[in-house]
Amino acid sequence: MEQNSSHPPYPQVLASPPGAMTPSLPIFSPMMPYGTGLTPQPVQNTNSLSLLEEQQRQQQQQQQQQQQQAASQQQGGMVGGSGQTPQLYHSQVSTTTALPGNTPLYTTPLTPMTPITPATPASESSGIVPQLQNIVSTVNLGCKLDLKTIALRARNAEYNPKRFAAVIMRIREPRTTALIFSSGKMVCTGAKSEEQSRLAARKYARVVQKLGFPAKFLDFKIQNMVGSCDVKFPIRLEGLVLTHQQFSSYEPELFPGLIYRMIKPRIVLLIFVSGKVVLTGAKVRGEIYEAFENIYPILKGFRKTT
Amino acid sequence: MPSNCPECGSSNVVEDDLYSQRQWVCVDCGSVVSEGHLTTTLSEETQGIAVPYHASTEESKKPCRNLIAGYSRVRALCRILRLSTDMESAVVSLFGRAYNHPNFIYVTLTKKEILGGCCVLSVCRQCNWPVAMGTVGYLLGVENATLGAVYREFTKALNIEISTVGIMDMLESFCYDFKLGPQQVEEVFAEPPQRLVDRTSALIELAADAWIVTGRHPLPLLVAAVYLAWQSLNPTVRMKYTLIKFCKIGQAPEQSWRRSRDSVVKRLKELRDVLCKLGRALPWLRGGTVEPNTVVQLVDDILKNRRALLMRAVRNYEHQLQNEAQPAQMTECDNKPSESNCSDSPSSKTPELIDPIQVECESPSDKEATDCQLPPNHWSKSHLFLPPCVKSRKRQRVDAPQPEVTGDEDISDSEIESYIRSQDEIEMYLKVQKKLKET
């Protein structure tokens, strides 16, 4: 840590080639609006980060602060080519750091709309926790099933082979729905937590067992988790799509929300003007929380009070 | 090879070809013992066969009939939208690429036509030529949703970067579509397009600040804004003309208002409400009422001072909220929307407000409309201008309390039994099914 602070301020800039998005590098980071006057300070972040990553982030913040001051003095009214990928920094998990001395001071021209950002803003974590709304999981019952028998002998099953080649079964507690296929594979949806999903899947397997099939419980895996939350302020979606156009897709004629595809973690967020955010595509709960902590500072930047 | 002549019985048989036919001839009596085939099969011939198509050096494939029809349709679309020749050729080449892409070569003809529309859309966006999806959908005769699905597939398959087109870009070409020149309509209705564009863009900026624009279809809002702009440019005469009349006078492009008339009416109402809220903050009105039907007369003043009016209206609202935070007396005033009761309330303590009574009395009616749906301390109460979807929530979502489970608990047999039919039930079910099948 000491050796870095003695270096002259080099920008921690990864000059990504314009238009390219290398998936191997974790290069997403929250962005702050230009010139808000908030100086980045070391953040007491309550996320599950290791100490080492905390220290790395603090180093980056200090150096970026110095670089930002230097840049603002020399930059003037420089307006660069639009459509360049904005300067991106590692946010929470940094596998590489920029080597001092290798990157020049100004790699790509800066536009007012794509500001240099500190790694994380000065505020603490948002204090809002996304609620899980739906978990989709799969399990292999390990034996071939006769769907007609199941549909006949179970009360809570429906089977319409012309429409769909699986039995749709429902249980009351936890309130879930399962699709049971003749190969023995099963999909369980509707649970609100991982444990509930596992319990529900076991109950379905037990029902199938009681119906006379040698059902087992193999390879239980959670395939998708959906969460939602409310940031409690309206969001300017047009501004967000302009500054983050590589990640966002906003077509008001097709869908009223903005579809934000975050790279790290790989989550899709639906952001609405009312401030409600839906996060989907996670395999573990932590990805949803991490994605929301990443997007919250960005959304705060687009909160406008008239 | 035959060795004995059947005629004379000698064994002196030689091979003596007649031209290209092999023959075995007896030397003694001269009879032909046997002969080969006169004709040869294709596999025996090595020269003189026509080279098949697939083995030729012919590189270019002739485009199929549907592709040619697709090209002409795409060119027609470009001409309707009056694109430049560069853009037209870009569209045609993009369509050729898309058509022959493995994702799209086997789809239905309707989808291929929609694909042509997507190519037009994509090139227009790249060249910053503002075309709404609704326009392209209208020209193709498909809904926005279908067009959108094909558009998403298309951009993903061909790796095209999507750029959004904002409502302000579409504004100018939209306004110019209205035929309101002095030769086309009467003098009182005529409006030079540039004036209309300026007034409409000011109105749309105001609407954007008041959160009416984000997340909504742009075309209905454009129609409503153009109508209000046209009215406000000569309010005394034009106020009595309804929206439908205006569309007929100006010969508005049909696709913009015919399909989405309800949306246009809703946007009009929202725009008028926003203008009323701002109109009430006008200092020289001194407490006069501002009604949605007559707010058009004030639009000129409102737009000139919109920044100041916005700040003033928000400030008034915040002051009023602070006053309401004081207990007891204000609650009575809140429940009675009549003016006299409000003016009796002692809480109008803010001397810098010119029309505190007006503002207080307008908010109780707002609160009554929303109180029944939102919880009392909802965050939206502290904002004057909000997206309408926040304020008008039709149904409160109640999250049922979730049981705390570990996932590995014991499952009671009785619970599982409750999901399985008894023998009697099964028999009854089969009986009923048989009866239903017979009928």
Q: What is the pLDDT of residues A72-95, one digit of tens each?
A: 554 444 444 344 444 444 444 434
Residues 385-414 of B with CB under 8 A from A: 385-387, 389-390, 399, 402-403, 405-409, 411
Q: How confident is the model at residue A191 (pLDDT cuts 50, 70, 90)?
A: very high
- Cα distance from B153 to chain A (closest Cα, Å)? 14
Instruction: Please judge whether A171 and B215 are an interchain contact, meaning their C-beta atoms are less than 8 angstroms apart.
Output: no
Q: CA nearest B307 in A: which residue? A: A306
Residues 162-201 of B with CB under 8 A from A: 162-164, 166
Take residue A189 and report the two structure tokens written for it: 């949806």
Fold for domain B1-47?
N-terminal domain of TfIIb (2.20.25)
Which residue ranges make up each domain of chain B?
1-47, 65-165, 168-312
Q: Please give the pLDDT value at position B46.
A: 65
Q: How confident is the model at residue B307 (pLDDT cuts 50, 70, 90)?
A: confident
- Cα distance from B262 to chain A (closest Cα, Å)? 16
Compute φ and ψ for A176, nearest 5 degrees.
-145, 170
Question: What percentage of chain A exceeds 90 in pLDDT?
Answer: 46
Q: Please give the pLDDT value at position B58.
A: 63
Which value does ipTM take for this structure? 0.71
Q: Please give the pLDDT value at position B251.
A: 78
Name the residue among B185, B213, B216, B215 with its Cα closest to residue B201: B213
Q: Tell me: the pLDDT tens digits for B320-353?
A: 888 887 764 555 444 444 444 333 433 333 333 3
Instruction: Please judge whether A198 and B402 are an interchain contact, meaning their C-beta atoms are less than 8 angstroms apart.
Output: no
* A154 → closest Cβ in B407, B411, B419: B419
* B215 → closest Cβ in A155, A198, A256: A256
Name the residue among B278, B428, B241 with its Cα closest to residue B355: B278
Q: How confident is the model at residue B135 (pLDDT cuts 50, 70, 90)?
A: confident
Sheet holding B23-26, edge to edge: B13-15, B23-26, B32-35
**Residue A298, pLDDT above cutoff 50:** yes
Q: How confident is the model at residue A68 (pLDDT cuts 50, 70, 90)?
A: low
User: Contacts of residue A206 in chain B, CB cutoff 8 Å?
Assistant: 411, 416
Take residue B210 and report the two structure tokens written for it: 């008041």
**In this predicted structure, which of A71-85, B235-249, B258-272, B422-436 has the lowest mean pLDDT?**
A71-85
Q: Tell me: the pLDDT tens digits for A149-158?
A: 999 999 989 9
Instruction: Please judge whether A238 and B166 are an interchain contact, meaning their C-beta atoms are less than 8 angstroms apart.
Output: yes
**In this predicted structure, which of A41-55, A148-162, B157-171, B368-382 has the lowest mean pLDDT?**
A41-55
Instruction: Please judge whether A254 and B415 are an interchain contact, meaning their C-beta atoms are less than 8 angstroms apart.
Output: no
Cα separation, B357 vs B286, whole angstroms: 10
Q: Please give the pLDDT value at position A61.
A: 63
Q: Tell me: the pLDDT tens digits for B4-26?
A: 888 888 888 888 888 878 888 88
Task: Judge if the upstream peptide bond of residue A174 is cis by omega within 30 degrees of 0.
Answer: yes
Q: Which CB contacts under 8 angstroms, 24+ apart, belong to B173-180? A: B173/B130, B174/B219, B174/B222, B174/B226, B174/B256, B175/B200, B175/B226, B177/B252, B177/B253, B177/B256, B178/B226, B178/B250, B178/B251, B178/B252, B179/B250, B179/B251, B180/B230, B180/B249, B180/B250
Q: CA nearest A211 in B: which residue? A: B420
Name the residue among A15, A28, A205, A187 with its Cα closest to residue A98: A15
> What is the C-alpha end-to-end distance of chain B, expressed in Å?
79
Q: Please name the amino acid found at residue B117.
A: G
Mean pLDDT value of segment A25-33: 44
Cα dist from B188 to B230, B237, B239, B244, whole Å = 11, 7, 12, 17
- Give me chain B's average pLDDT, please: 79
Higher pLDDT, A140 or B253: A140
**Residue B398, pLDDT above cutoff 90:** no
Place of tokens 């007896």: B26
Size of interface A-B (CB pairs under 8 A): 125
Instruction: Please judge whether B421 and A199 are an interchain contact, meaning their C-beta atoms are less than 8 angstroms apart.
Output: no
**Residue A36, pLDDT above cutoff 50:** no
Cα separation, B66 vs B104, whole angstroms: 13
Instruction: Please judge whether A174 and B403 are an interchain contact, meaning their C-beta atoms are less than 8 angstroms apart.
Output: yes
Instruction: Report the C-alpha dihedral over residues B111, B114, B119, B121, rounded to 10 degrees.
Output: -150
**Residue B89, pLDDT above cutoff 60:** yes
Mean pLDDT value of segment A269-285: 94
The alpha carbons of chain B give a radius of gyration, in whole angstroms, of: 41
User: Contacts of residue B430 in chain A, CB cutoff 8 Å?
Assistant: 152
Instruction: Please judge whether B403 and A207 are an interchain contact, meaning their C-beta atoms are less than 8 angstroms apart.
Output: no
Best interface-test mutation with A: which of B270, B415, B416, B433 has the largest number of A CBs within 10 A? B416
**CATH fold match for the domains B1-47 and B168-312:** no
Instruction: Please judge whether A306 and B405 are an interchain contact, meaning their C-beta atoms are less than 8 angstroms apart.
Output: no
Q: How confident is the model at residue A118 (pLDDT cuts 50, 70, 90)?
A: very low
Cα separation, A96 vs B210, whole angstroms: 44
Q: Tell me: the pLDDT tens digits for B206-231?
A: 888 888 888 888 888 888 888 888 88
Q: Please give the pLDDT value at position B70.
A: 92
* B164 → closest Cβ in A194, A196, A250: A250
User: Contacts of residue B162 in chain A, CB cutoff 8 Å?
Assistant: 249, 251
Q: Does B419 touch chain A (CB under 8 A)?
A: yes
CATH homologous superfamily, domain B168-312: Cyclin-like (1.10.472.10)
* A234 → closest Cβ in B161, B387, B403: B387
CA-based max dimension of chain A: 78
| Full-model pTM | 0.67
Instruction: Please judge whether A275 and B134 are an interchain contact, meaning their C-beta atoms are less than 8 angstroms apart.
Output: no
Q: Tell me: the pLDDT tens digits for B139-184?
A: 898 888 899 999 989 988 888 877 777 888 888 888 887 777 777 7
- Cα distance from A133 to chain B (closest Cα, Å)? 10
CA-based max dimension of chain B: 148
Instruction: Please judge whether B417 and A236 are an interchain contact, meaning their C-beta atoms are less than 8 angstroms apart.
Output: no
Q: Please give the pLDDT value at position A92.
A: 40
Mean pLDDT value of segment B63-92: 91
**Residue A294, pLDDT above cutoff 90:** yes
CATH homologous superfamily, domain B65-165: Cyclin-like (1.10.472.10)
For residue B38, list its beta bridge partners.
none
Q: How confident is the model at residue A110 (pLDDT cuts 50, 70, 90)?
A: very low
**Residue B355, pLDDT above cutoff 50:** no
Best interface-test mutation with A: which of B390, B413, B427 has the largest number of A CBs within 10 A? B390
Place of tokens 């999806």: B133
Mean pLDDT value of segment A230-259: 90
- Cα distance from A120 to chain B (closest Cα, Å)? 26
Q: How confident is the model at residue A266 (pLDDT cuts 50, 70, 90)?
A: very high
User: Contacts of residue A130 in chain B, CB cutoff 8 Å?
Assistant: none
Q: CA nearest B423 in A: which residue? A: A153
- Give me chain A's average pLDDT, please: 73
* Highest-confidence segment of A240-249, B2-11, B287-296, B355-364: A240-249
Take residue B318 and report the two structure tokens written for it: 């915040």
Higher pLDDT, B217 or A144: A144
Cα separation, B318 vs B324, whole angstroms: 10
Q: How confident is the model at residue B74 (pLDDT cuts 50, 70, 90)?
A: very high
Mean pLDDT value of segment B292-299: 80
- In this structure, are residues B295 and B254 in contact, taking their beta carbons and an 8 Å threshold? no
Place of tokens 């558009």: B151
User: Contacts of residue A255 in chain B, CB cutoff 8 Å?
Assistant: 148
Mean pLDDT value of segment B245-268: 78
Q: Please give the pLDDT value at position B402.
A: 74
Mean pLDDT value of segment B377-392: 76
Q: CA nearest B412 in A: which residue? A: A203
Q: Please name the amino acid found at residue A255.
A: F
Q: Please give the pLDDT value at position B337.
A: 43
What lies within 8 Å, CB to CB, of B362 at 6+ separation is B277, B280
